[in-house]
Structure 1
Amino acid sequence: MSCASATLAVWASAWLAGAAAPDDVLDALAPWSDAHDVVAADDDAAELTALPAAGTPPTSTAMLLITIRKLAPRGQARLVLPAPGDVRGLPGPGRFSREATATGEGVLFADAGIGVVPGPIADGVVRWSVYAVPDPGPTPEYVALNEAERDLRGQVRAAAAALSEMDVARHRPGVREEIAASLRRRPQALWPGGMPPQALRVLQQADEVDAILSAAAGDEPGGALSATAAIARSDALRPIATAVRVARRAAVAEAVRVLVSVPR
């Protein structure tokens, strides 16, 4: 499942490197929404990209790809998955960083000087808002995929232990079936043929842990858990959510590295 930004980051990088066709990128985005459109989120982005400004009729993701190619013919994409208190990978203060943090995802095209953030605007429509990012910030920390996978496996065990300690299954009968159903309902991401197997495995594991987190956090306020227990549960699960984000970023970064390094 991963997220729409991960799909765009991998496929756009592969396309810029000559490892995919533009139609492949557009087809890969299809599972995330019936329709996608694109706008420049502010005047700076509109001037830089010539994309339509917010408040005017939007354009297509095909035009976004053309724009990226014009700005950085051989660039690469960086997946960002920020959360409050965890802004690793962001370029620094600015609208892109704020909106990506609010949404929980985004794609930075550092060589092109832009960042894009997806968000639903209507049933079946995702809008990609484009922001000018004149300073990409420092090089993001490198996390080896082996390290990310090892930590994620540890967090799988931690997630299971947290569910047991908090007795979520008692409060939520059928929670295991709920997790399996949640995974089946999520969009099935499409990946290029040259994706490294380990990156695919880590992305799958991240999806599984994410589904467990969703189940563990599923009690409504005023439900079976007391406020104190709910806070304790949130504190216990936060490191697991962080590990999921780290693993997804590491997997996508490794996929991009491999896809763009293959001789054409």
Structure 2
Amino acid sequence: MSRSLPQSGSALLRAWPASALAVWAAAWRAGAVAPDDVVHTLHDYAQTHEIDAAADTGVAGGGGALDLLQAVGGAAASAVALPAAGDPQGLPPGALTGDVLAAGEVLLLAVPAGPTLAVTARGAVERCRWTFRALASPFDVDTIGGDQSPGELEYELREAVDEAAAVIAGLAGPRSAGPVDLRDALAARTHAVSLDLPPHDRPRVDRMLATAAQIDAIVSLAGGGPGASAGQLDTADTALRRLSSLTRRARATAINTLLRDYRS
């Protein structure tokens, strides 16, 4: 799942800012939304947006939300990946920097007559800094997330909901929260990792993202508690890592499906 570093005294950035920027910028370029719609979405993530770009990217540093939209919307193609340690999701080795792994998501841009760019977002609700880096060698962004079809991943997600619930049920020990508290906590965490999308015609994408958010919320709630045994925790940890990897792959596939649709 995505992680954002909080600034002192600041609230965390919402989950999946780079994925949101990617899909809303693609919708704008396709004429499905207005620039104000994209800016409004970005303001849901942070009050201020800043661009930090190296000289070899061809992107001007500074600027705000509209400059960010222009920089991303001008790409010939785009894709997102949600990498984690041991799960690079098809990224070339040069892109797996500490910042990319810490952010938990990266937006890849194919720039006409330029290098492939990797874009990450870091910050808090007061200010989000978008870092643009050029990959060391050319990279086909359409190769990202192509290992499994959306249909296959949707089936795996449906199966994984029951598995995630079983992991929590299998962790014995007293719990301080009752059923109502757990339901409220699950609903809140599901909302926190959900992604708002522009208009589109892919109901499967909506289902995949909704199920991925539900599983992510369950994974984040699956603490062992003081009564769980070491063996239970070890088994749960293995299962939760597998579930987290599945939701990353499914979420990236869903977003990249929309990105290709808007580009076609």
Same fold (TM over 0.5): yes
* Larger helix percent: 1
Pair 1:199-2:223 in alignment:
no
Q: Distance in 1 between matches of 2:199 and 2:126?
A: 27
Instruction: Find out whether 1:253 has 2:256 as its counterpart.
Output: yes
Unpaired runs of 5+ residues, structure 2, are 1-13
- Say which SS state the counterpart of residue 171 (structure 1) adopts: coil
Report if the CA contact (8 A) 2:48-2:64 is conserved.
no
Q: Distance in 1 between matches of 2:89 and 2:261?
A: 22
Residue 38 (structure 2) pairs with residue 25 (structure 1): yes
Pairing partner for 2:239 from 231, 236, 240: 236
Aligned partners of 1:248 and 1:228: how far apart in 2?
Answer: 30
Q: Which residue identity is paired with 1:160?
A: A
Q: CA deviation at 1:233?
A: 2.1
| Partners of 1:96 and 1:132 within 8 A in 2 | no
Change (3 A) 1:163 1:218: closer
Q: Would you say the 8 A contact 1:114–1:134 is kept in 2? A: no
Partner of 2:118: 115
CA drift of 1:188 comes to 5.9
Determine the structure 2 residue equivalent to 1:55. Answer: none
SS state at 2:100 partner: helix
Is the 8 Å Cα contact of residues 48 and 65 (structure 2) preserved in structure 1?
Answer: no
Aligned residues: 242
Match of 1:46 in 2: 55
Report matched runs for 1:106-145 at 5 Å.
106-111=106-111, 113-120=116-123, 122=124, 124-137=126-139, 139-142=143-146, 143-145=148-150
Q: How many angstroms does 1:116 deviate by?
A: 0.8
Q: Aligned partners of 2:193 and 2:245: how far apart in 1?
A: 22
Query: Which amino acid is the alignment partner of residue 177 of structure 1?
Result: D
The residue aligned with 1:182 is 189
Give 1:252 shift.
0.6
Structure 1: gaps of 5 or more residues: 53-57
Which position in structure 2 is the counterpart of 1:155?
160
- 1:218-237 maps to which residues of 2 (within 5 A)? 223-225=226-228, 228-237=231-240
Q: Which amino acid aligns with 1:93?
A: P
What percent identity do the matched residue pairs reach?
32
Which whole-Å CA distance do the structure 1 matches of 2:214 and 2:233 have between them? 22
Q: SS where residue 108 of structure 2 aligns?
A: strand
2-structure distance, mates of 1:149, 1:87: 21
Deviation at 1:200, TM superposition (A): 1.1
Show the counterpart of 1:67: 71
Deviations 1:121-163 (A, max 9, x none): x552211111112535352342211111100111101101111
- TM-score, structure 2 length as denominator? 0.80
What corresponds to 1:93 in structure 2?
Answer: 93
2:26 is aligned with 1:13: yes
Partner secondary structure for residue 144 of structure 2: coil
Aligned mates of 1:16, 1:154 — CA distance in 2: 36
RMSD: 2.5
For residues 192-229 of structure 1, give each alpha carbon's deviation from its aligned partner in whole angstroms, at most 9, with x where no partner exists.
1124111011111111111111101485xxx5545554
Distance 2:33 2:104 in 1: 27
